[in-house]
Structure 1
Amino acid sequence: MSSTGGHRAGAPSSAGEPAPRRRAHRSRRKRPVVRIAVGLLVALLVVPAGAFAWADGKLHDTVDLGTSGGDEDSGSGTTYLLVGSDSREGLTDREKQELHTGSAGGRRTDSMILLHTGPAGTTMVSLPRDSWLTVPAYTSPMTGKRHGPAKHKLNASFAIGGPKMLVNTVEHNTGLTIDHYVEVGFAGFVNLVDAVGGVPICLDRNLKDEKSGADFTKGCHTLDGTAALAFVRQRHQEAQGDLGRTRNQQKFLTALAHRAAEPGTVLNPFAVYSALNAGLDTLIVDRNTDLLDLTSMFQAVRGVNGGHGTQLNAPVSAIGIPTAEGSAVLWDRSRAQRLFRELRDDLPVDVKGGKSR
């Protein structure tokens, strides 16, 4: 699974951070044979041709990641940015109450995961939303005022400039090039979980969080959409707060991919249509992402669940750091730079994530 363009490092900035990436144009016609075969297999054996075209047309491909010119890089891997937003679009007032989502307007990033696939395998890296990072210079679309680079929480970059600014910020601080952007809101997440018949999760302790609505006993459970949303959002009883939550989100995402690929789901036409309809309704992707790209992403996530990949958090040196935007998470710069260099150059990941001891 690969895409045209790669992940060679840019020259460090004067602040010691990766320079902003130059995004090479990626033609949708240049698809490796294996990737086409996977997509055709899904289209022919699982989804009738008409349904495949219908599903591809339902994608909200509204995010422009930019296509500025530049030399083609030699890296052969592909990097996705998977975003869970707190968008309430599609939810009734009663559903908002039942799901403990609140009624805030707009949308914010609730979770962010880098998924990198390449010759060295698949790696999922959770990026804590409270990560204290440099947001690149930008011009406010509201005022036209130019703002220089400044420190903010990672999820603030989304509030400042939406998906494109979030992608720019991730690229600026990791040196990676994001090839595909995939975002799902609350309603889409809940409906997708319900469409596949729930997702099995085993817990090693009791979990209860009044704010998210999570209330689970130790042991194995099959979570429906409402329970699943509560599980991936809970963090107040996690010893490491958002770091603990990101681990739960990765665990659930891989379990969801595995459940969706089980014979009882993929060989059931009704389940397939239901899952596609539920998953695509609130899915937002970039303009160069189509159903074949999502198929490749799905296969990669499923592979991680089967033990063919690595899951970790971005390396962290400290949590609860006081800032003007509240407590934040500080990355371990040396370990983070090494991790992202390994991903960028498609090398085996030899860096452990999480908080340094």
Structure 2
Amino acid sequence: MADRPKGSGVPEEGTPEYDWLYGSGSSTPPSDATQQMPARGGGRADETRVMPAARREARGGGSGGTSGNGGGRPPTRPQPTPAAAAPRRRRRFRPRLGLRLVPLLLLLVLVYLVGVPLWFYGKIDRVDAEPSGDRPADQPGTNYLIVGSDKADDLSAEQRKILQTGERGGTNTDTIIVLHTGSGGRTMMSIPRDTLTEVPGHGTQMINAAFAIDGAPLLVASVEKLTGIHIDHYVELGFGSVINTVDAFGGVEVCPKQDMVDPAARLDIKKGCQEVDGITALAYSRSRHVTALSDLDRVARQREVISALGSEATTPWTFVNPVRYWKLNKAASESIRIDDGMGPLDLGRFALAMTGESQTCTMPNLNAPSDPNRIIADPDRAPALFDAIINDETVPKKACTPTGRVTS
């Protein structure tokens, strides 16, 4: 083999210093696979110490190739595309708090609806209305005696001035109504105040005289004597009860059939249905000097006002509006008197009876033979109405007319 020139960078043959690198007896440079670090102590090469050949691209030796990374900088981590990014998890609304509040709110509403009447029940005036002596036996159903008195001590100073009533304690009545509830339905029967009847212990007088003589007990006894109907409960309404209750509702609708101007009742109202305030509603129910049948027409208007109040009381707005509900209970408690035995449940049943559909009529009557300005119970027609109430039966339509007179 020819001699290698000096300075070629290749060790001379047989040079021992480089045998370990190039191997002995080899005339060609070894490949990369021979570049192994010899194992210490001889023997087989340590394969774990192989120096892998670096790729040109990884060493950055490329000259502008697409696979280069631009000057030997470490490769950047590829960023995920928006489509590959994980969707953002939305917080789901869980109305647990709202569901827990609903029962609490319902409980508060129930407490309010029950608690307000109970609160004002304790403020209502009581009266001993049970008469002495013999009375009709208990009867099926429930009978309430509703009395409208001229009690003015529940009026404000301004209302007294408008009505010119003064501070009277309520010694007269122009409203006497028997309200019956039972399986035979509801019946509201008016007894005209000018009805001549026996007042126990005081002879024959107008029935309203019993109230002036001895108040509630004697009036109950006189009504029972006249009709044979056992009175279970007594409710007395003053002037203020009508005025304040109507105003608590924001007015009621009345439908006069003619123009009515009655200075005695302080009434001036046009014909036709219209909304009226408490003062006008009271005057409308008390007027007796305009229409032909006087007191018989008046009792029909009294029932009209009471029915209008009942209709207003049953509207959902009464219970939804807490202010209206409060004012209604307050007005009622300040303007009524009830018998001693009338508990909260009895009063609640009475309120429901007042708001329900009722058959309304006036006691069948005739002009009194002795005095055409007074009336008496019609002996032929009145017993049929009285007996229907006593036996808790449906009242015959012929026996129940608005004025108590025979209609053609």
TM-score, length basis structure 2: 0.67
CA displacement, residues 143-199 of structure 1 (integer Å, 9 cap, x when unaligned):
xxxxxx510001000111111100000001111110010001112221111111111
With a CA cutoff of 8 Å and minimum separation of 6, indicate the structure with the bigger relative contact order: 1
Flag structure 2 segments of 5+ consecutive residues without an equivalent.
Answer: 1-105
1:257 paired with 2:322, answer no
1:122 paired with 2:202, answer no
Quote the Cα distance in structure 2 between the aligned partners of 1:244 and 1:71: 30
- 1:65 aligned to 120, 130, 142, which one? 130
- 1:317 aligned to 345, 348, 366, which one? 366
Give the superposition deviation at 1:87: 0.8
Quote the Cα distance in structure 1 between the aligned partners of 2:233 and 2:270: 37
Q: Work out whether residues 170 and 238 of structure 2, in 8 Å CA contact, stay in contact via their aligned partners in 1.
A: no
Superposed CA RMSD in Å reads 2.6
Give the superposition deviation at 1:52: 3.2
Structure-1 residue corresponding to 2:266: 213
Flag structure 1 segments of 5+ consecutive residues without an equivalent.
Answer: 1-40, 138-148
Structure-2 residue corresponding to 1:329: 375
Structure-1 residue corresponding to 2:118: 53
Quote the Cα distance in structure 2 between the aligned partners of 1:71 and 1:94: 44
User: Secondary structure of 1:112's match?
Assistant: strand
Give the superposition deviation at 1:46: 7.8
| Amino acid paired to 1:110 | D
- 2:354 aligned to 301, 314, 326, which one? 301
CA displacement, residues 276-318 of structure 1 (integer Å, 9 cap, x when unaligned):
11111021000111332222222222222xxxx3110010111
Q: Work out whether residues 140 and 390 of structure 2, in 8 Å CA contact, stay in contact via their aligned partners in 1.
A: no
Structure-1 residue corresponding to 2:160: 96
Quote the Cα distance in structure 2 between the aligned partners of 1:258 and 1:192: 13
User: Secondary structure of 1:334's match?
Assistant: coil
Structure-2 residue corresponding to 1:343: 389
Give the superposition deviation at 1:81: 0.5
User: Secondary structure of 1:232's match?
Assistant: helix
Q: Work out whether residues 77 and 118 of structure 1, in 8 Å CA contact, stay in contact via their aligned partners in 2.
A: yes
| Amino acid paired to 2:365 | V
In structure 2, the CA distance between the partners of 1:318 and 1:102, relative to structure 1 (3 Å rule), is farther
Quote the Cα distance in structure 2 between the aligned partners of 1:67 and 1:182: 18
Structure-2 residue corresponding to 1:234: 287
User: Secondary structure of 2:394's match?
Assistant: coil
Quote the Cα distance in structure 2 between the aligned partners of 1:44 and 1:291: 19
Superposed, which structure 2 residues align to 1:155-194 within 5 Å? 155-194=208-247
User: Secondary structure of 2:356's match?
Assistant: helix
User: Secondary structure of 1:218's match?
Assistant: coil
Quote the Cα distance in structure 2 between the aligned partners of 1:158 and 1:316: 21
| Amino acid paired to 2:395 | V
In structure 2, the CA distance between the partners of 1:320 and 1:96, relative to structure 1 (3 Å rule), is farther
Structure-1 residue corresponding to 2:405: 355
Quote the Cα distance in structure 1 between the aligned partners of 2:178 and 2:280: 24
User: Secondary structure of 1:111's match?
Assistant: strand
CA displacement, residues 27-83 of structure 1 (integer Å, 9 cap, x when unaligned):
xxxxxxxxxxxxxx9x9648444423212211212224159899974x421000011
Whose Rg is larger?
Answer: 2
User: Secondary structure of 1:124's match?
Assistant: strand
CA displacement, residues 119-147 of structure 1 (integer Å, 9 cap, x when unaligned):
1101000010010011112xxxxxxxxxx
CA displacement, residues 242-300 of structure 1 (integer Å, 9 cap, x when unaligned):
00000011111011111122112221111111111111102100011133222222222
Structure-2 residue corresponding to 1:87: 151
Q: Work out whether residues 254 and 301 of structure 1, in 8 Å CA contact, stay in contact via their aligned partners in 2.
A: yes
- 1:272 aligned to 319, 325, 338, which one? 325
Quote the Cα distance in structure 1 between the aligned partners of 2:271 and 2:161: 26
Report which stretch shifted further, 188-197 or 91-100.
Answer: 91-100
- 1:134 aligned to 198, 204, 211, which one? 198
User: Secondary structure of 2:230's match?
Assistant: coil
In structure 2, the CA distance between the partners of 1:104 and 1:49, relative to structure 1 (3 Å rule), is closer
Q: Work out whether residues 171 and 215 of structure 2, in 8 Å CA contact, stay in contact via their aligned partners in 1.
A: no
CA displacement, residues 193-230 of structure 1 (integer Å, 9 cap, x when unaligned):
11111111223321111111111111221111111111
Q: Work out whether residues 108 and 159 of structure 1, in 8 Å CA contact, stay in contact via their aligned partners in 2.
A: yes
Quote the Cα distance in structure 1 between the aligned partners of 2:112 and 2:344: 12
Report which stretch shifted further, 94-103 or 154-163.
Answer: 94-103
Aligned residues: 297
Structure-2 residue corresponding to 1:29: none
1:77 paired with 2:126, answer no
Structure-2 residue corresponding to 1:243: 296
User: Secondary structure of 1:317's match?
Assistant: strand
Quote the Cα distance in structure 1 between the aligned partners of 2:136 and 2:371: 41
Give the superposition deviation at 1:331: 1.6
In structure 2, the CA distance between the partners of 1:159 and 1:70, relative to structure 1 (3 Å rule), is closer
